[in-house]
Amino acid sequence: MNALALIPVILLLQASYFDMQGTIMNVISPSSLMIGNNTVTLADVDASGLNQRQYAYLMDDLKSSLQGKDVFVKGGYVYFDLTGSYNSHSINEMTQKEISDLKDIIEYNIPMLL
């Protein structure tokens, strides 16, 4: 069998591992995305503890970086669709890391978003 003939089969097997795939239409909150016509709640994402300016900054950043992106969904975890494959870090992890970084701004009294 030709190796090139296996590529569509491998992509189909990988896609079947996920519950859903689609495009992020809207960022409702740091922990909630509209993917296609479905609202997906992101597991392990908690934006509590951010002040109003930090929350607004986070939402602006998430909307500009996520809207229009194609993704795969597995449970409450969302991954960028990299032309039929996916990255190992979920959008959940990236969002929670950004939240932690914003919280560190308060801890270290960095005036940018206090």
**Of the candidates 75, 99, 71, 66, the residue with the CA atom closest to the CA atom of residue 87:** 71
Instruction: For residue 72, report the phi and psi dihedrals to the nearest 5 degrees.
Output: -110, 145
Name the more confident of 111 and 54. Answer: 54
pLDDT digits (tens, 9 = 90+) for 50-74: 999 999 999 999 999 999 999 999 9
pLDDT given at position 12: 46
**Chosen CATH of 3-113 out of 1.10.3710, 2.60.40, 2.40.50, 1.20.950:** 2.40.50
Beta bridge partner(s), residue 70 = 23
CA 45, 50, 55, 61 dihedral sign is: negative
- Rounded to two decimals, the pTM is 0.78
SS3 of residue 38 by DSSP: strand
